[in-house]
Chain A
Amino acid sequence: MTAYIVRRLFATLPVMAVVALFVFFLLRFAPGDPAAIIAGEDATAEAIAAVRGKLGLDRPMVEQFFVWILQLAQGDMGVSIFSNLAVTRLISQRLEPTVALTLSTLFVAVALAIPIGVVAAWKARKLVDRLVMGFAVLGFAMPGFVLAYILIYFFAVQWQLLPVQGYRPIAEGLWPFIECLILPSVALGVTYMALIARITRASMLEVLAQDYIRTANAKGLATDRVLLLHALKNAAVPIITVIGIGIALLISGVVITETVFNIPGLGRLTVDAVLKRDYPVVQGLILVFAAAKVLVNLIIDISYAFLDPRIRY
């Protein structure tokens, strides 16, 4: 297993290199010019050219690429064209809100979706099952931002139970931290919850039809033991796979959720940087997201071995 993990970690290096290559050149080929944005409305073409020169954006693209790669090799992601702050500082400032939002969404989604998926499978084709599947269809169908505005309207503006927007770090207290995350987690988690609930139900239905479940029932084992220990464990591999895929969905989902709830996370940083053509920041962020995705996939693959003894690396 250790050799496998080491091998996988080394395999991330070429992946990251390809990502770096693509993100750098795609950004440069995309329309837009940060120098024109900085120089402003009343800037002449000469003024824009002067800013571009000072930023080094007039140098050959290949030269700019190698300068960036050399910086990266030294652990330096560069400096934001606009704020003049290190990209690593900008990313680290935004990491906590995004991680907090992602984990709280995962927690909300997994903690609710798996039990309701299990119950739906257990009560297949009965009212509970239909309600759960109805919820799943609704969860898929409703865009996250629509749900977000509905939640804000009722829970924040009308009933004033929770804040409309913002993020408070955990260092400022647990309740301020949690109250800022409740609405965003629900808004972001519903689609995800629907996805996991459906997969859990489907996977459980397949397992519940197996002979060993019939045997367990015939032996007189309690239903909860049959469902949780015998069925759910064997149905877990596809569920874990979907949770892993869902993390990629979450990364794109946080962009919208962070915008609507004004959470200063990596999603909003990405959108702002793309709109302003802040190349170093976009490049740094894409690398971080790619690394996160690679890491999540690795964790998922490793978890298979623990859940299913037949899987060995």
Chain B
Amino acid sequence: MLKRILAGALALVVPFAAHAQGQEKVLRAVMHADVRVIDPIWTTQTIASIHGMLIYDTLFGNDADLKPQPQMVGKYEISPDRLTYSFTLRDGLKFHDGSPVTTKDVIASLKRWGAKDGVGIRLFSYVKKLEAVDDKTFTMVLSEPYGMVLESLGKSGSSVAIIMREQEALTDPQQQVKEAIGSGPFKFAKDLWVPGSKAIYLKNKDYVPRPGNEPPSSFAGSKIPGVDRIELVWISDPQTAMSALVNGEIDFYEAPNNDFLPILAKAKGVKLMMTGKIDSTQGMIRLNHLHPPFDNVKARQAMYYLINQEDFLRAIVGNPEYYRVCPGLLTCGGPYENDGGSQWMKEYNPKKAAQLMKEAGYKGEPITVLFTTDHNTITPATQVLVQAMREAGLNVDAQSMDWGSVVSRRAKKEPPAQGGWNIFVTTSGGVGSANPVLHTWIGAACDKGLFGWPCDPEIEKLRNAFAFAQTDEERKKIAKDLQTRAMEQVVFLPFGQWNTPLAYRADKIEGIVPNTGLAVLWGITKK
């Protein structure tokens, strides 16, 4: 009442017109991060991919079961020797500037993606030829029968194989494109973009969805825009975001803080929804294989005796409903979950860890842990790890820094005393971690691999074999052999898997589908 009185009084005194948005249907969503970068190939940030999937389209889209389904492609053929793929684009595909999508745009976009993204680089290492037959048809000729062509083209998560206009796609992949003009279901309103605050997407009225009105299933299905406008609002404070949802100021909250879930569960009009079954987060402790003590496999294996996943998960998540113990490297619940190497994680025993470290030649030298101080999951996980290491009598040099500094420091290969490191804690998305090829942290490509630089030709051989496997049985067997070997070599120490439900106003929106790597926003409708 007071609000109405005040508003009425002010309206009488001051002749300012109220801002009218008419009957426009607007979805206001708070995501896990803000849109700061408009080029989802230039950066691997997940939010850039969410932005990318609103405005760009892909040739294929992996469905909720991670099976690739055609999206921009109308029909495709694979030669019997599985070396030649022929793709024909659907009719009516147009960019937001009105120009038609042609094979020139597609080929340039795929080449850019194939030069930057890890999955793309692997695929393109087998691509002998990529050429246009006409404006709508192109062929991809492989040097070997690589088995993951369509899965790679339809991948979700970071750096999706999006199709840009040729003029942007010719940009060096190490540089950001200047325009965000795609052919997807929404157009990016660049003039209204306030980085760090909001990004606005307007319905693409000219979008031609896949025929058949297929229901959305992750990246597959007909992409029918459900609202006129999507506003990705960035609220950095989780408590404010929660209050804004409770108050009805926003409709969708992608990643509420675990502490607030009980409040949200009781709030009127608000519903929690578990995301896809493998759309989880996997906790990882990465050891530096280049320097003592962890250049010795025995010292690395000793660390298994300091991991009680329940301890980590209780500190990070708390509620067992949202986490699971997962003593493997491939996502539990995923198609390649197995028990290879899980015997390493059966016992929490600091004394045994200390004894194994001693046998490995450790004499109490400082072990540098990059201690992230500003991350809602990595920080508590590092605290648990440091405590366990101290219980084992290890000399821990915990160096506190923000996540930005960890990201920079972990790239240093120098010894810890010269600015390098021994241990850092990180996380990986469950969808990527479900597949041995997409799960880059399981690799052991020495200098060419990820920070920590594990080096084991056998692991790389198995990953490669997985990509060439022709049957699912064959893949499962390779996945188990790979996990067994990777756990023995300790490419990383897993500390569990968790899943944060998303929250939304059930009284205002509907049509939310489970995530499989990225939030699917285009099909959400307003009641």
Identify the A interface with B (CB < 8 A): 31-33, 36-48, 50-51, 53-54, 80, 82-85, 90, 93-94, 149, 152-153, 156-157, 160-166, 168, 170-176, 178-179, 259-262, 264, 268-269, 271-272, 275-277
B172 within 8 A of A: yes
The 3 A-B residue pairs whose C-beta atoms are closest, nearest first, are A40-B44, A264-B197, A33-B408
List 11 extra interface pairs beyond A48-B411, A164-B247, A171-B19, CB under 8 A: A31-B401, A33-B411, A40-B45, A44-B448, A83-B195, A84-B38, A160-B247, A163-B249, A165-B249, A175-B16, A262-B234
In-complex Cβ contact of B3 among A83, A161, A164 (8 A): A161
Distance in angstroms from A147 CB to nearest chain B CB is 14
Considering only residues 429-478 of chain B, those with a C-beta below 8 Å from chain A are 440-441, 448-451
Considering only residues 142-163 of chain B, those with a C-beta below 8 Å from chain A are 158
The answer for the CA separation of A269 and B196 in the assembled complex, in Å, is: 7
B236 within 8 A of A: yes
Chain B residues whose C-beta falls within 8 Å of the C-beta of A165 in the assembled complex: 235, 240-241, 243-244, 249
The answer for the CA separation of A32 and B373 in the assembled complex, in Å, is: 14
Cβ contact within 8 Å between B440 and A275: no
Cβ contact within 8 Å between A33 and B407: yes
Nearest A residue to B429 by beta-carbon distance? A41
Considering only residues 374-409 of chain B, those with a C-beta below 8 Å from chain A are 374, 401-402, 404-405, 407-409
Distance in angstroms from B248 CB to nearest chain A CB is 9
Given known contacts A157-B243, A261-B240, A276-B36, A31 and B10 CB-to-CB distance under 8 angstroms: no
Given known contacts A40-B45, A162-B3, A175-B7, A262 and B118 CB-to-CB distance under 8 angstroms: no
B246 within 8 A of A: yes
- Report whether over half of chain B's contact residues are helix, strand or loop; otherwise say mixed: loop
Chain A residues whose C-beta falls within 8 Å of the C-beta of B174 in the assembled complex: 50-51, 53-54
Chain B residues whose C-beta falls within 8 Å of the C-beta of A170 in the assembled complex: 16
Cβ contact within 8 Å between A152 and B243: yes
Interface centre among A43, A172, A269, by most chain B C-beta atoms within 10 angstroms, is: A43
Distance in angstroms from B120 CB to nearest chain A CB is 12
Cβ contact within 8 Å between B37 and A82: yes
In-complex Cβ contact of A54 among B172, B440, B451 (8 A): B172
Distance in angstroms from A140 CB to nearest chain B CB is 23
20 residue pairs from A and B, CB less than 8 Å apart: A31-B409, A32-B404, A32-B405, A36-B407, A45-B411, A84-B37, A90-B195, A149-B239, A157-B247, A161-B2, A164-B244, A165-B241, A165-B249, A171-B19, A173-B18, A175-B16, A260-B237, A262-B237, A275-B374, A277-B404
Nearest B residue to A82 by beta-carbon distance? B36
CB-CB contacts of B1-42 with A at 8 A, as 1s and 0s? 011001100110010111100000000000000101110001
Interface centre among B2, B16, B34, B450, by most chain A C-beta atoms within 10 angstroms, is: B16
Given known contacts A84-B176, A152-B240, A41 and B426 CB-to-CB distance under 8 angstroms: yes
Given known contacts A174-B10, A175-B7, A275-B404, A164 and B19 CB-to-CB distance under 8 angstroms: no
Cβ contact within 8 Å between B236 and A259: yes
Contact size range, B: 35 or more
Chain A residues whose C-beta falls within 8 Å of the C-beta of B2 in the assembled complex: 161
Chain B residues whose C-beta falls within 8 Å of the C-beta of A50 in the assembled complex: 174
> How many A-B contacts are there with CB distance less than 8 Å?
161
B428 within 8 A of A: yes
B198 within 8 A of A: yes
Given known contacts A31-B401, A54-B172, A164-B240, A40 and B43 CB-to-CB distance under 8 angstroms: yes
Cβ contact within 8 Å between B249 and A166: yes
The answer for the CA separation of A84 and B118 in the assembled complex, in Å, is: 24
B194 within 8 A of A: yes
B175 within 8 A of A: yes
Given known contacts A42-B118, A84-B178, A85-B195, A173 and B19 CB-to-CB distance under 8 angstroms: yes
In-complex Cβ contact of A83 among B16, B38, B234, B407 (8 A): B38
The answer for the CA separation of A80 and B198 in the assembled complex, in Å, is: 16
The answer for the CA separation of A258 and B383 in the assembled complex, in Å, is: 30
Identify the B interface with A (CB < 8 A): 2-3, 6-7, 10-11, 14, 16-19, 34, 36-38, 42-45, 116, 118, 158, 172, 174-176, 178, 193-198, 233-237, 239-241, 243-244, 246-247, 249, 374, 401-402, 404-405, 407-411, 413, 426, 428, 440-441, 448-451
Cβ contact within 8 Å between A42 and B44: yes
Chain B residues whose C-beta falls within 8 Å of the C-beta of A80 in the assembled complex: 195
The answer for the CA separation of A271 and B34 in the assembled complex, in Å, is: 13
Chain B residues whose C-beta falls within 8 Å of the C-beta of A93 in the assembled complex: 194, 197
Chain A residues whose C-beta falls within 8 Å of the C-beta of B116 in the assembled complex: 47
Cβ contact within 8 Å between B195 and A164: no
Chain A residues whose C-beta falls within 8 Å of the C-beta of B426 in the assembled complex: 41
Cβ contact within 8 Å between B42 and A38: yes
Nearest B residue to A52 by beta-carbon distance? B174
Cβ contact within 8 Å between B247 and A163: yes
The answer for the CA separation of A262 and B158 in the assembled complex, in Å, is: 27
Cβ contact within 8 Å between A45 and B243: no
Chain A residues whose C-beta falls within 8 Å of the C-beta of B198 in the assembled complex: 264
Distance in angstroms from B277 CB to nearest chain A CB is 22
The answer for the CA separation of A160 and B247 in the assembled complex, in Å, is: 7
In-complex Cβ contact of A41 among B178, B241, B428 (8 A): B428
The answer for the CA separation of A32 and B246 in the assembled complex, in Å, is: 36
Given known contacts A32-B404, A163-B247, A164-B244, A264 and B11 CB-to-CB distance under 8 angstroms: no
The answer for the CA separation of A17 and B179 in the assembled complex, in Å, is: 35
The answer for the CA separation of A81 and B428 in the assembled complex, in Å, is: 25
Chain B residues whose C-beta falls within 8 Å of the C-beta of A275 in the assembled complex: 374, 402, 404
Nearest A residue to B172 by beta-carbon distance? A54
Nearest B residue to A182 by beta-carbon distance? B6
The answer for the CA separation of A47 and B118 in the assembled complex, in Å, is: 10
Distance in angstroms from B217 CB to nearest chain A CB is 25
Cβ contact within 8 Å between B244 and A36: no
The answer for the CA separation of A42 and B196 in the assembled complex, in Å, is: 23
The answer for the CA separation of A152 and B193 in the assembled complex, in Å, is: 27
The answer for the CA separation of A48 and B174 in the assembled complex, in Å, is: 9
Distance in angstroms from B193 CB to nearest chain A CB is 8
The answer for the CA separation of A37 and B234 in the assembled complex, in Å, is: 19
Nearest B residue to A256 by beta-carbon distance? B237
Chain B residues whose C-beta falls within 8 Å of the C-beta of A48 in the assembled complex: 411
Chain B residues whose C-beta falls within 8 Å of the C-beta of A90 in the assembled complex: 195
Chain B residues whose C-beta falls within 8 Å of the C-beta of A39 in the assembled complex: 43-44
Cβ contact within 8 Å between B175 and A41: no
Nearest B residue to A85 by beta-carbon distance? B195
Nearest A residue to B419 by beta-carbon distance? A31
Distance in angstroms from B310 CB to nearest chain A CB is 26
The answer for the CA separation of A54 and B247 in the assembled complex, in Å, is: 44
Cβ contact within 8 Å between A38 and B411: no
Cβ contact within 8 Å between B11 and A176: no
Chain B residues whose C-beta falls within 8 Å of the C-beta of A41 in the assembled complex: 44, 158, 426, 428
Interface centre among A38, A48, A174, A261, by most chain B C-beta atoms within 10 angstroms, is: A38
Cβ contact within 8 Å between A164 and B413: no
Cβ contact within 8 Å between A174 and B44: no
The answer for the CA separation of A47 and B120 in the assembled complex, in Å, is: 14
